[in-house]
A and B are shown apart, each in its own frame.
Chain A
Amino acid sequence: MAARKTTRKSSAKSNVSKDELLTYYKDMLLIRRFEEKAGQLYGMGLIGGFCHLYIGQEAVVVGLEAAAKEGDKRITSYRDHGHMLACGMDPKGVMAELTGREDGYSKGKGGSMHMFSKEKHFYGGHGIVGAQVPLGAGLAFSDRYRGNDNVTFTYFGDGAANQGQVYETFNMAALWKLPVVFVIENNQYAMGTAQARSTSTEDIHTRGVPFGIPGEIVDGMDVLAVKAAGEKAVAHCRAGEGPYILEVKTYRYRGHSMSDPAKYRTREEVQKMREERDPIERVRTMLLDGKHATEDDLKAVDKEIKEVVNASAEFAKESPEPALDELWTDIYAETAPQEA
């Protein structure tokens, strides 16, 4: 990525260490490069169906994962590749699922929209807009039931925020003080519908107010701001105070899915975001300006990430298609998989 001239104010929270900054930089870059590769493989016909890229939104999951601890859970929609990489799932397994191969996280049976990892407490990957919201509250319910202090990050979009089940969930989550952080990834569009054309209020997080759920707006292009907000929300949940809403303002650079002609916004709008607000560039500038890293250091990082991504793509191409017998497995369980 070419260094850009734009100077921008570095984040208000300056007590961040060099190592931390570098980690966020790497994590975000991994997502970006991975998604670019996925887009490429889609173009080559190696990935099929619906494939929703996360490019532009990287700071959201990276910032929130920085606020999480072991045992916390996460659940999201079909736009899930970034969430999986950020919580530590293996890029190889994710990419192999995208190509529908045996070594994918769902043995090739789920695809881009439906991946899961018990080990990383990643509960999917859901194709029905809004459905993950009550599911996330249910995960939080299970933790509250057990009496531990885990938190569930429940991600959904600005479009999903209009689904009725979201508000049924807000009510119960508040009523039962469920430890759930509702993360509204407000990328301003639901497919071709700009937020103002679908949503009666300007802000979405304020819809928690009638239920007694606190919430706030977060700059989703600033990983440190996301992390700070995440920490606050998580502390609220762990203290037994119930749910918290973070409305994270972000932006997706690519189309809704690979087949979106994107006529609903101007190229200039996208370009402006990329140039002025890019979350990765922001951290890069901080690293360089703070003399935490040199151009050469960052070049080395870029190279390292590229290798990881290329290896995942190679792996995903080499991995065999699932055996035909797999068509008939995993329809019913002998033991609950959670207990196995």
Chain B
Amino acid sequence: MATELLMPALSPTMEEGTLAKWLVKEGDTVSSGDILAEIETDKATMEFEAVDEGTIGKILVDEGTEGVKVNTPIAVILEEGEDASAADNVSSESSQAAEEPEEKPSAPAAAKPEAEAPTELMVDSSPDWPEGTEMVKSTVREALRDAMAEEMRNDENVFLMGEEVAEYQGAYKVSQGLLDEFGDKRVIDTPITEHGFTGIGVGAAFGGLRPIVEFMTFNFAMQAIDQIINSAAKTLYMSGGQMGAPIVFRGANGAAARVGAQHSHDYAAWYSQVPGLKVAMPYSAADAKGLLKSAIRDPNPVVFLENEILYGRSFEVPKLDDFTVPFGKAKIWREGEDVTLVSFGIGMQYALEAAEKLAEDGISAEVVDLRTLRPMDTASVIKSVMKTNRCVTVEEGFPVCSIGSYISSVLMQEAFDSLDAPVITCTGKDVPMPYAANLEKHALITTDEVIEAVKKVTYR
């Protein structure tokens, strides 16, 4: 059967080219690999080879023709035994390919909800633990350690690796006691090689283990961010679901105290941008514990952002055999009527302090702790704003493309009619972290700034 030779695409972006030269003429027999023609694109001249054997039945486009569209028939090849007349009778399959591509599939049903029709909010407001549960005091540091220890007891595939996690008991003492209990097979000191050990962690996760990779601080995870994003976050998708990385990347994130620009970065917004990753940033010890246990069990890569200043803070933690907090469920720390404060991680400290002070002024603030940033429980935020009609977000990171910017865009798109004032995003200042004590104080977000923002959105 005669087949048409089509103008080939010689680069991913080529749409047309010049048929510079034919190296064969009608009647020539060709076999696979023979060079048939030279084709010029805007970038280069390329040779065009035969794929099948046959005889050149007819040349459809003369050499020297410019602007030949990709997929246009340029010649007809005859199979053995066919005569030239077959060239007029080519298979329809290939000629169809030459036609304009089919109409694009019709646009998917509008993704945006109609402004009129309120979206149904899926809000899970169940308590995190049953009423009457015994509570114990624990620091965030201990809570994190307990979460790891419990999960390591539960699943022998869970192991911890990182710098100074074993013999030194953790640079910030989060892994205190783990080496003693689990031994050096499962609590592993690494050299200072973030890119390398993160890759090894991801590979071990591919291999079926459940690694917890500790970064001394997330500033150093920048050395390893390629493995976190390109290897851990994307593999499930790239493999069509065959392979993935159940792994936890955890460590201190954000500013500590006076450690300067290279040791104070908040990465909340960075990681939250990446599909395939989950991101948690707990504030309290109970959430640190419950979320870390969920993170370790999660079949996906989880970035778990802790905070050095919070490590030493004490909170009540429920005394339960197996306490977990699900991802994607915000927590309302304080109910209120006049404004919604949305925060997470150490930002909660400013939000709660501000709410306390605002109450003295007769302003009632509802405080929402997102707890996980990806998935993010925007439904709870919207539900709250539908009640208060005002929103201020609070975080320590930089203002440009912040978590607050995202929340404000969600509210604008999904709760526009509920807003009585523009959302204000309270963030750290748009500067690298300075060392000097007075400058550092100004670079960070303050409770007063949150209060001021609330007064602005409540027009007081």
- Interface 1/0 per residue, A82-117 and B, CB below 8 Å: 000000000000000100110000111111111000
Residues facing A in B220-275 (CB within 8 A) are: 220, 222-223, 256-263
Q: Are A159 and B436 in contact (CB under 8 A)?
A: no
Please give the distance in Å from A95's CB to the nearest CB on chain B. 14
Complex: how many Å from CA A49 to CA B430? 21
Contact of A48 with B258 at beta-carbon distance under 8 Å, contacts A128-B219, A164-B195, A197-B189 already known = yes
Complex CA–CA separation, A101 to B438 (angstroms):
10
A302 within 8 A of B: no
B431 within 8 Å of A (CB atoms) = yes
- Smallest Cβ-Cβ distance to B429: which chain A residue: A327
List 9 extra interface pairs beyond A108-B434, A109-B435, CB under 8 A. A49-B258, A110-B435, A111-B436, A114-B260, A130-B192, A198-B189, A198-B190, A326-B439, A327-B442
In angstroms, Cα B223 to Cα A164, docked, is 10
- Chain B stretch 397-417: residues in CB contact (< 8 A) with chain A: none
Q: With A49-B257, A128-B219, A331-B431 in contact, do A190 and B192 touch (Cβ < 8 Å)?
A: yes
Q: Which residues of A contact B256 (CB under 8 A)?
A: 49
| A window 115-135: CB within 8 A of B | 126-130
Return A233 CB to nearest CB of chain B, in Å: 25
- Chain B residues closer than 8 Å to A129, beta-carbon distance: 192, 220
Whether a CB of chain A sits under 8 angstroms from the CB of B191 is: yes
B306 at the interface (CB under 8 A from A): no
B263 contacts across to A, CB distance below 8 A = 49-50, 113, 127
A residues 279-338 in Cβ contact with B at 8 Å: 321-322, 324, 326-328, 331
Given contacts A100-B436, A128-B219, whether A324 and B442 have CB atoms under 8 Å apart is: yes
Chain B neighbourhood of A49, CB < 8 A: 256-260, 263, 435
- Cross-chain contact B259 with A50 (CB below 8 angstroms): yes
The count of residues in chain B whose C-beta lies closer than 8 Å to any C-beta of chain A is: 36
Task: List the B side residues contacting A110 at CB < 8 Å.
Answer: 260-261, 435
- Listed residue (B171, B259, B434, B442) with the most chain A CB atoms within 10 angstroms of its CB: B434
Contact of B435 among A108, A159, A192, A198 (CB under 8 A): A108
A191 to B167, CA, bound (A): 11
- Return B434 CB to nearest CB of chain A, in Å: 4
A163 within 8 A of B: yes
Q: Is the CB of B164 within 8 A of A191?
A: yes
Asked if B67 lies at the interface with its beta carbon under 8 angstroms from chain A, I say: no
Q: List 6 A-B contacts (CB under 8 A).
A: A100-B435, A109-B439, A110-B261, A129-B192, A159-B192, A327-B439
Taking CB atoms and an 8 Å cut-off, the chain B residues in 52-108 that contact chain A are none
Assess whether A326 is in contact with B193, with CB atoms less than 8 Å apart: no
Knowing A128-B262, A264-B167 touch, does A109 contact B191 (C-beta < 8 A)?
A: no
CA distance A111 to B443 in the complex (A): 15
Find out whether the CB atom of B171 lies under 8 angstroms from the CB atom of A191. yes
- Smallest CB separation, A86 vs chain B (Å): 22
Q: Is A178 an interface residue (CB 8 A)?
A: no
A324 touching B438 by the CB < 8 A rule?
Answer: yes
Interface residues of A, CB < 8 Å — how many? 41
B323 to chain A, nearest CB (A): 32
Asked whether any CB of chain B lies closer than 8 Å to the CB of A11, the reply is: no
CB-CB under 8 A from B439, the residues of chain A are 100, 108-109, 321-322, 324, 326-327
Bound CA–CA A128/B260 (angstroms): 12
Residues of A within 8 A of B442 (CB): 324, 327
A130 to B163, CA, bound (A): 14
Q: How far is A107 from B443 in the complex, measured between Cα atoms in Å?
A: 16
Tell me, yes or no, whether A23 is within 8 Å of chain B by CB. no
CA distance A163 to B257 in the complex (A): 26
Closest A-B pairs by Cβ, 8 of them: A111-B435, A49-B258, A48-B258, A108-B436, A127-B262, A100-B436, A192-B168, A162-B191
The one of B189, B430, B434, B437 that contacts A326, using a Cβ cutoff of 8 Å: B434
Interface of B is mostly: loop
Nearest Cβ distance between residue B250 and chain A, in whole angstroms? 19
**Interface flag for A245 (CB, 8 Å):** no
- How many inter-chain contacts with C-beta < 8 Å in the A-B complex? 125
A192 contacts B436, CB within 8 Å?
no
**Is A193's CB under 8 angstroms from B164's CB?**
yes
Tell me if B196 is interfacial: C-beta within 8 Å of chain A: yes
Is B432 located at the chain interface by the 8 A CB criterion? yes
Contact, CB under 8 Å: A192 / B438: no
Residues of B within 8 A of A142 (CB): none
Q: Which residues of B contact A159 (CB under 8 A)?
A: 191-192
CB distance from B130 to the nearest CB of A (A): 41
- Determine the chain A residues whose CB is within 8 A of the CB of B430 once the complex forms: 331
A160 interface residue per 8 A CB criterion = yes
Contacts A48-B258, A49-B260, A111-B258 known; A163 to B193 CB distance under 8 Å? Answer: yes
A164 with B192: CB separation less than 8 A: no
Bound CA span A129–B195, Å: 12
Q: Chain A nearest CB: distance from B449 CB in Å?
A: 14
What A residues does B193 contact at CB under 8 A?
Answer: 162-164
B431: min CB distance to chain A, Å: 6
Q: Closest Cβ of chain B: how far from A105's Cβ, in Å?
A: 11
Contact of A114 among B189, B219, B435 (CB under 8 A): B435
Interface contact A163-B262, CB-CB below 8 Å: no
- A327:B435 contact, CB within 8 angstroms: no
Contact indicator per residue, chain A 175-196, by CB within 8 Å of chain B (1) or not (0): 0000000000000001111000
B438 and A321: CB pair below 8 A?
A: yes
Would A327 and B168 count as touching, CB distance under 8 A?
Answer: no
Residues in B with CB closer than 8 Å to A100 are: 258, 435-437, 439
Contact between A160 and B192, CB atoms less than 8 A apart: yes
How many angstroms between the C-alpha atoms of A126 and B261 in the bound complex? 10
Are A163 and B260 touching (Cβ within 8 A)?
A: no
Quick one: given A111-B258, A159-B192, are A331 and B432 in contact (CB under 8 Å)? yes
Distance between Cα atoms of A50 and B171 in the complex (Å): 13
CB atoms of B262 and A113 under 8 A apart: yes
**In the complex the two chains form, is A192's CB within 8 Å of B167's CB?**
yes
B380-435 CB contacts (< 8 Å) to partner A: 429-432, 434-435
Please give me the residue from chain B that is nearest to A126 by CB atom: B262
- Closest chain A residue to B168, Cβ basis: A192
Q: Is A199 an interface residue (CB 8 A)?
A: yes
**Residue among B164, B220, B437 with most chain A CB within 10 A:** B437
Cross-interface CB contact of B436 among A112, A164, A321, cutoff 8 Å: A321
| Interfacial chain B residues near A97, Cβ < 8 Å | 435
Contact with A along B184-212 (1 / 0, CB 8 A): 00000111110110000000000000000
Are A114 and B168 in contact (CB-based, < 8 A)?
no
CB-nearest residue of chain B to A98: B435
Residues on the A chain within 8 Å of B223, using CB? 128, 130, 163
Q: How far is the CA of A127 from the CA of B256 in the complex (A)?
A: 14
Residues of B within 8 A of A164 (CB): 193, 195-196
